[in-house]
Amino acid sequence: MPRAAARPAAPVILLTGFEPFGGESVNPSWLIASALDGETVAGSTVRAVRLPTEFRASLRVLRAALRRHEPRLAVSLGQAGGRAELSIERIAINVDDARIPDNADARPIDVPVVRGGPAAYFSTLPVKAIVAGLAARGVPAAVSQTAGTFVCNHVFYGLQHALAGTRVRSGFVHVPYLPEQAAVWPGAPSLPLSTMVDGVREALRIAATHVGPDLKVGGGAID
């Protein structure tokens, strides 16, 4: 039988998560990303890549993934224990300032992510549209004005830097603890994995399909 002509590969959405850090045995960001690996969202195939929670190695792995997949959209996820909702990050800043050592025992203090790079990059995701879309779906979400100064901000800045000047949208979403993680931190908020997977899938769909400027709705903070 003649072989069918190879179909052109579907465009890719790159979705990264991190390995566990800080004494945790799981990282919800990777559980979410791996749950969505292989799914089709807005006509694109989601490819999940796990990043080491290390300043140095994280961007090496991320850049290799960008080269390999040439995605049409790239979103990185990270755990932010203590936050109550999916945090759609607005801005990445050009500084590493680690309060705890990373998984390779590195603890950079006041070092730029990219020497000579701009002070900051904005997310190129429609952050307000994503928050509104998730709220409409019953998934707690908010704009966040800072991704911190640890490995997540490092990866977010490196991602925005790598894709600056291209038409590929990219950004970062911090996610809360899972209930089983929060159980050992009295009072800490959490969301079930299924809710977070559903919310991230919807965030990817909105990011891939939104046209025009972002929604002009409030999402600011006083402090």
**Which of 89, 154, 161, 202 is flagged as catalytic?**
89
Cβ density class 67-76: b for 16+ within 10 Å, e for less: eebebbbbbb
DSSP β-bridge partners for residue 79: 175
Q: Please check whether residue 215 is in contact with residue 132, taking contact to mean a CB–CB distance below 8 angstroms.
A: yes
Q: Please state the closest distance from residue 202 (CB atom) to ligand PCA, in A.
A: 21
202 catalytic? Reply is: no
Return the number of the residue (79 or 94) whose C-beta is nearest ligand PCA. 79
Q: Which neighbouring-strand residues pair with 142?
A: 87
Residue 174 falls in the annotated catalytic set: yes
Choose the catalytic residue: 54, 154, 161, 174.
Answer: 174
- Closest to ligand PCA by CB, 79 or 170: 79
Q: How far is the CB of 18 from ligand PCA (least distance, A)?
A: 4
Nearer to ligand PCA (CB atom), residue 18 or residue 121: 18
The residue annotated as part of the active site, out of 152, 154, 161, 202, is 152
Q: Are 28 and 178 in contact (CB under 8 A)?
A: yes
Provide, rounded to whole angstroms, the least separation between the CB of residue 53 and ligand PCA. 4
Using CB under 6 A as the criterion, which residues of the chain lie in contact with ligand PCA when the complex forms? Answer: 18, 21, 27, 29, 53, 78-80, 148, 150-152
- Nearest residue (CB) to ligand PCA, 150 versus 157: 150
Strand blocks (E) in the chain = 12-18, 40-41, 44-51, 73-79, 86-89, 91-93, 96-97, 109-111, 120-122, 141-144, 169-175
According to DSSP, residue 28 is labeled H
Q: How far is the CB of 213 from ligand PCA (least distance, A)?
A: 28
| The pairing of beta strand 12-18 with beta strand 120-122 | unpaired
| Catalytically annotated residues | 89, 152, 174
